Chain A
Amino acid sequence: MTSLADRAAIVGIGQTEFSKSSGRSELQLAAEASSAAIADAGLTPADIDGLVTFTLDTTDELLLMRCLGIPELRYWSRTPHGGAGAHTTVQHAAAAVASGAANAVVVYRAFNERSGRRFGQPNARVTPLGWNLYLPFGLDTPAKIYSLWFQRYMYRYGVTNEDFGRYSVVARRHAATNPNAWFYQRPITIEDHQRSRWIVEPILRLLDCCQESDGGVAMVITTMERARDLAQRPARVAAVADGHLIEGHVMFNYYHPGDDVFPEVGFLARQLWEMSGLAPSDIDVAMLYENFSPVVFLQLEGLGFCGPGEAKDFITDGNIDLDGSLPVNTNGGLLGEGYIHGINNILEGVRQIRGTSCNQIDDVEHVLVAGGRSGLILGQP
């Protein structure tokens, strides 16, 4: 069977600052990040012939072409479902370059998510299509929608909000030594976490939630063959996959029969391990999407780094620290660095492969980057 394993690489990365008020348009953020990524790769805009972003992104591809001076575009696509599809952007780009549909693809994501439309707030005044069963009952923010799912996990495995807080403390410690992080030099203690106000009782406190952030990020993807001749050490895409199951929904798992909390991540894991020929013990760093701290727990278990219900002990025992067996979210994650819809976590994965992270782990061979329903494994070239 033809596979996308080892066919493509991330060869350039770029970003703006992450802030609460960028003071410029989302188009400009996308252009700045993309331009930086192209330059980082040692390419010019004329070398780029593909663009991939999220369906939720407001930047039109033709306007971005005009900003960057890309003369001709042969391929574009978008991935649905926000952060759940963040890693799918790499799959689209890798498939495009592996098939010859494009030579070099820029993936971009840029928004004013704090100073513009806030993702954490209830935005609807009228119930949007498909939300009749949720919004009228008060499920009006991502925090609440996710919490109704997390609560069953807490009940099933005896997990408390304080357990979630131990992840937040690690994320903020990693952010504290990352100058690009919103929470640079601002670590927290578990007491700070437990004193922060409830967002959704008894599941999430303020310090369990990611940052509503303004910013732009971008990366350049091309074939492994071309990657070897470019400016940076390529981050080889050893595996990339989507994992969706019937009865799943964009932000919640309410309808799977029985008590299976997150079967999608298990499906994703099976594909990533099979495609790469690797096992959890081969992973040196994991970048795990966390709009809210419990998602890290669900992924550590679902990806096979620990058993069901064991994430709280895995974290308490220091495994996800910089000197642990599996450093997680070395940039501070979406809680500590900023929430650029998960793509900033992919960029940190690339830095760990290159050896250029602010919190560099020694001898990194493989980085897993996942968001529950999509993910990838990066490897040395």
Chain B
Amino acid sequence: MPSVIPPVVGHDDEFFWDGVGQGRLLVQRCTGCGTLRHPPSPMCPSCRALDWVPQELSGRGVVFSWIVSRHPTEPDDEPRIVVLVTLEEGIRLIANLQGVDPAEVRNDLAVEVTFEEVDGVVLPQFRPAGAPGTVAQ
């Protein structure tokens, strides 16, 4: 099991982590102009509106880039694959990829979100599209 440093939630990203706890991947949708935005931010860069609503994403996307992450000082920690995913809605999101051998990871691999407890912290994780436990199942 990898060790996880948990998030410290603040005003701007509380909704995101609340969503993660409920198994929902949420981003902000500007009430003024409809633009989706992520990472969380208090003001819409397109129209400066402060009002927004949370919008649930499909959780489907493709791997934009990836690395194998090993803990630099705790070699017994299980390595994790970190992925930058481009979601269907055009949002980029960092998470981990599970259910794939590091040698099998490819850019543009189709993936779907799942929510898993890792070292006591619920985190969005991705698995290859169609794998057990993902949105499509």
Contacts and interface: CB of A to CB of B under 8 A. Distances in A.
Most chain A C-beta atoms within 10 Å of own C-beta, residue among B4, B72, B90: B72
B90 to A, nearest CB: 7
B92 interface: yes
A148 B73 contact: no
A155 B65 contact: yes
Given A137-B80, A201-B68, A132 B9 contact: yes
Interface stretch (A138-146, A163-171, A231-239): A138-146
Interface residues of A, number: 35
A16 to B, nearest CB: 27
Contact of A201 (B93, B96, B102): B102
Interface string B79-91: 0101010000010
Nearest to B124: A137
A135 interface: yes
A151 B5 contact: no
Contacts of B84: 148, 152, 254
Interface in B1-26: 2, 4-10, 13, 16-17
Contacts of B70: 201
Chain B interface residue number, banded:
35 or more
A155 B107 contact: yes
B8 A132 contact: yes
A137 B94 contact: yes
Interface stretch (A52-60, A81-89, A123-131, A213-221): A123-131
Nearest to B39: A133
Pairs of residues from A and B, 6 with the lowest C-beta to C-beta distance, nearest first: A132-B7, A152-B65, A138-B69, A151-B65, A201-B68, A155-B107
Given A135-B5, A200-B67, 7 more contacts: A136-B6, A138-B2, A138-B96, A139-B94, A140-B5, A148-B67, A152-B107
20 contacts: A122-B72, A122-B73, A124-B5, A127-B6, A132-B13, A133-B13, A136-B123, A137-B80, A138-B2, A138-B82, A138-B96, A139-B69, A140-B5, A140-B69, A140-B71, A151-B67, A152-B84, A201-B68, A254-B84, A254-B92
